[in-house]
Chain A
Amino acid sequence: MAEPILSIEGVYFRYPNQSEYAVQNVSFQAERGEWLAIVGHNGSGKSTIARLLIGLLRPERGVIRLFGRPLDETTVWDVRRRVGMVFQNPDNQFVGTTVEDDIAFALENNGIPRDEMVERIHEAVRQVHMESFLEHEPHRLSGGQKQRVAIAGILALRPDMIILDEATSMLDPRGREEVLDTVRRLNRQRRITVVSITHDLEEAARADRIVVMNKGEVMAEGTPEHVFRLGGKLERIGLDLPFAVKMGSRLREKGIPLRVGYFTTEELVEELWTLYSKK
């Protein structure tokens, strides 16, 4: 097996003046090019993990390794260049007065020469389909557009990994789709590793693997298919199963002998059709 791009082992963290751990004994890994979802209700410790991953917080115990090296003061700036993070509130991460200024911000921080900056900015806006907005000011953009600018700002640094910290939770359905489509494309086409932190299992269903957090600990880990088998257990920790999973289990309760292990409406229809035509 190839060495994981990200691995965290036995990590503990608590906020200052708190006796309880926000994150305890958490371990998981991510492969290059993988889409890993970290799910949990608000306060389950999932956002704390995001902050630990790029060194905004430091674990009390345990080791975080990125790109084969432990995360510490000597590597943190390199990690921040290779790992981009999209935060929840689209407004509070937009630094520049215009779209191009904002995309330039991280490039400036990394001392990229100006000529190269211009080139990279153009390349980045094209990838998020915001070419015609270069000179727009943030208050003239929708939430989804601002998040795409944030992604462009990360792409300009040619990253290996993108972390979405509840990046779609403040968006309307259209904005959410825009952002997720963009990230999915980057994940597939450019093999950028994605770690998406969310409480939306519908969104997590698109991931390759899911880590379920509860009370600061990892409760389960595996493919969506594997994780959704937990069913009611996930609902008890405040999560909402994808529609097809919920529908399926309701139908099974009504005596329709459906198989387990699908989470899109299309798959459910196929499953029902197979049963129906057998009759």
Chain B
Amino acid sequence: MTNNLIIGQYVPGHSLIHRLDPRAKLLIVFAYVLIVFLANNVVTYTVLSLFTFVFAALSRIPLSFIMRGLKPILWVVLFTMLLHLFMTKEGDVVYRLGTFSIYEGGIRQGIFISLRFLLLVLMTTMLTLTTTPIEVTDGVESLLGPLKKMRVPVHELALMMAISLRFIPTLMEETEKIMKAQAARGVDFSGGRFSERVKAIVSLLVPLFISSFKRADELATAMEARGYRGGEGRTKFRQLVWKPLDTSFLVATALLAALLFLLRS
């Protein structure tokens, strides 16, 4: 069920991109999301694509794996392309069929917008493919650190995120177990009338909620027993180390922004 979806799936490795500080990767991706909108002509899109492909190549993740992950969004890209193809009425008419006309501007817009969308997804996927969820959490906690002064519970939020990540596999296992137990009592999870389907879902969700509450309660007790009393006075085992490599990647991203700004029309 989760096998086709690569968004959020980490691929272990030791490439340059894997070794980047998660804060650097978060900042780059965040900046990239804004930078993408600077591109508006053939030259700028070429530069942007080059940068993105080099970044992806550096991750050493097999192209086939990345492509497989992009497949599910291809129809969205195609739809965007068609939409622009038919709706944009700029430049010369290239093709006419009855009341439909395709303009040169439409083709250009269609290609640009779908390319932009693809590049965005590719870049954000790179973040999750090369960074473990817990590293992302550490990065977010560190970047949001200054907000602690404004009484934003950054530490608590990060801990919540980390614990959720820790329990995802446990809950998936639990879900499967409950589904099997209910299937043994004649529940059909694969079909049936609407009312039967509702009943099936209820027979799965109620036990799942109850056991999750119990887990949460026991976990809270265990955490208290292990001396947890909030973020105050706590040291951290997971440490992020900012390296020259991280700075150089940030600089490269800044250069990209500058270049696009100069070359855009």
Contacts and interface: CB of A to CB of B under 8 A. Distances in A.
B98 interface: no
B163 A111 contact: no
Contacts of A157: 227
B224 A95 contact: no
Contact of A97 (B165, B233, B239): B165
Q: Which of B133, B214, B218 has the most CB of A within 10 A?
A: B218
Q: Give the size category of B's interface with A.
A: 20 to 34
Nearest to A77: B227
Contact of B134 (A95, A97, A109): A97
Interface of A: 51, 54, 56, 77, 80-81, 84-85, 87, 89, 91-98, 100-101, 104-114, 117, 121, 137-139, 153, 157
B221 interface: yes
A138 B170 contact: yes
Contacts, number: 93
A138 B236 CA distance: 20
A111 B234 contact: yes
Contact of A87 (B132, B163, B169, B218): B218
B222 A106 contact: no
B234 to A, nearest CB: 5
Given A80-B226, A106-B226, A106-B227, A114 B215 contact: no
Closest 8 CB pairs of A and B: A104-B237, A93-B222, A92-B218, A109-B227, A139-B169, A106-B226, A97-B134, A97-B166
A139 B235 contact: no
Interface in B178-219: 214-215, 218-219
B229 interface: yes
B228 interface: yes
B145 to A, nearest CB: 16
A121 B235 CA distance: 14
A107 B235 contact: yes
B217 to A, nearest CB: 8
B111 interface: no
B2 to A, nearest CB: 14
B225 interface: yes
Contact of A109 (B173, B229, B239): B229
A96 B166 contact: yes
B226 A95 contact: yes
B43 interface: no
Contact of A113 (B165, B226, B233, B235): B235
B238 interface: yes
Interface in B147-169: 162-163, 165-166, 169
B237 A139 contact: no
Contact of A56 (B132, B214, B224, B233): B224
